Structures are given as C-alpha cells and as structure tokens.
Amino acid sequence: MATSCTREKVLHGHPCFGGDRHRNGRIHLAVAPRCNITCGYCDRRHDCANESRPGVTSRLLTPPEALKQVRGVMASPTYGSLIRVIGIAGPGDPLANAETFETFTLVQREFPDLLFCLSTNGLALPDRIGDLSGVNLHSLTVTINAVDPEVGGRIYREVRYRGRVLRGAEGAEILIRNQFEGVRLAAQRGMVVKVNMVLIPGINEEQIPLVAQKASEAGAFVMNVMPIIPQANLAHVPRPTPEHLEQVRSANEATIAQFRGCQQCRADAVGLIGGCARSPQT
C-alpha cells in the first residue's frame, strides 16, 4: 500500500486526487504518441484551441523539449507558483513509449520536489511496474471500463500485446487481467492509484459496481467515473447527463471513494484544472 507520507503528499497536492484544484496546478507533457490498444470512443485526429479532451495535443514533444517546457512554465509568473504535478497522459499510452521514462528522469533531476503522475490503459502495467518504481512515480491513473471481457470487447477495437493483435473478448480479457493486476502491483509499491471508468450508456453501466469492487480490492484509492465523449465508433452513444453521472457516483461511493472534479483534460494541459485548455507556448 502507499506510504502515509506519499499518500498525504498526493492528496494535498494533486488536483486529480482531491488536492485543492483551485490552488494546485499540473503540467501534462505530450511525449507519448504511440498506443497499444484502440478504444471505440477514441479519435485523436482533431485539435481545436479551446477543446478539452483526452488524447488531444497541439504538438508532440521530445523529452528534451518537455524539460524545456517545464523550465519555462516553472519560471512563469502566471503558472510557476501553481504547479505541483508533472503528468504524462498521452496522447497515446505512456507505457507504450520509452520517451515517457526518459522525460520523467530528465524532469526529476531538476524538479525533484514536484509530484509525478502517469495515466495509462493498464495493458503494459504489470510489465512496466518496475520501470515506474524506478522513476519514483507518486500516483497512477488506470482507465478500466469493464470486468466482463464480452463487454470489453464492445469497447475496445484492438489490443496489441506482445506481438499479437487481438480483437473482441479475447483482447479485452488480457487487457482487463493486466489492468487489475497492475493496480494491485502499483498499490503494493507505494503508488496512490486512481481508477478512471468511462460511463458508456447501454454498454457498460452494469459493470460500474463490479469495477468499483475489484478496484478497491486491488488497492485503488479513488474512482473517477467519466462521461463518454461520443466519437469514433461510439459516436452514436448518448452522453450521460450530469444527473446520471452523479447518481452512478453516489451509488458506488460506499465501495470506493468517488472523484468529482474531473474535466477530461487534454494531453498538453497546463495550469489549474478548468483554467487552461492547452499548453502555453514557452
């Protein structure tokens, strides 16, 4: 389990784990272009300056460019005093990109007092857990959308794992197994873990309490149920209303704590949550 020191640092400093989002900001470094799965709701082809959506970035950064950006933001009178967290959340899956680990290493050398966070689909998590410990990751977010592989097969178009391309329930089964095992291993190594779940009406609503229970048992600290942004293969699915979302969160709060401040940020977001849609030019 996470050490009390690490947990307190994350809970007071990380706006996506309950830290005051009106005072604590973050930098998302878009250094991870490649992904190892294809989700039915994922579309990274478009970028609008005012668009806040996971997987979107105006441009990709190399690890040295990412360090340069952190230096610029931390020196900025507008943003520098706000930043508490360095996160990597895409635009692909961070664990499918060696640049993720190079970036964390470079940034930590100069800014060791910041919190370091990563968001992943969890497919490669059991294989890369040692690498994450090696870069002293404080917190981890894993997106888990189902427990039942048949349901997962309706959400994930492809799972690319160890040289194989898997589809339907076969791919989803491996992904789901690795997700929960990865959560367990991360919690054991002292990382504070949040589980994201995309609420997809008509597809995975009945899975939510099952994910909540298994995530809690695996050692996750908090759960974030997010509304689907209808696009790609699931563009026809209605977006859940705020009332529906709150009903789902309240129904599962006794199982695992629910996070309610998510703004489904871009892969290059900087500043306070909801206060800046994209990275400033530095």
Q: How confident is the model at residue 281 (pLDDT cuts 50, 70, 90)?
A: very low
pLDDT tens sequence across 117-162: 999 999 999 999 999 988 988 889 999 999 999 999 999 999 999 9
Query: Across the chain, what does the average pLDDT equal?
Result: 86
Q: What is the DSSP letter of 150?
A: H
- In the block, tokens 């931390």 appear at 74
Tally Cβ neighbours within 10 Å of residue 82.
Answer: 21
| Residue 72 burial (10 A CB sphere; 0-12, 13-18, 19+) | middle
Q: What pLDDT does residue 22 have?
A: 61
Q: pTM here?
A: 0.88
Give percent above pLDDT 90 in the chain: 61
Yes or no: is domain 4-271 CATH 2.40.110.10? no
For 81-123, write each residue's pLDDT tens digit: 888 889 998 899 999 999 999 999 999 999 999 989 999 999 9
Please state the domain extents for the chain.
4-271
Yes or no: say if 54 and 94 are a contact pair by the CB < 8 Å rule. Answer: no
Q: Is the pLDDT of residue 173 over 60?
A: yes
Question: What's residue 215's pLDDT?
Answer: 97
The rounded distance, in Å, linking the Cα atoms of 33 and 111 is 24
Q: Are 31 and 156 in contact (CB under 8 A)?
A: no
pLDDT tops 90 at residue 279: no
Mean pLDDT of 235-253: 93
Comparing 89-103, 175-189, 263-277, which segment has the lowest mean pLDDT? 263-277
Q: Are 187 and 126 in contact (CB under 8 A)?
A: no
pLDDT digits (tens, 9 = 90+) for 18-71: 655 567 778 889 999 999 999 988 876 545 444 555 667 778 999 999 999 999
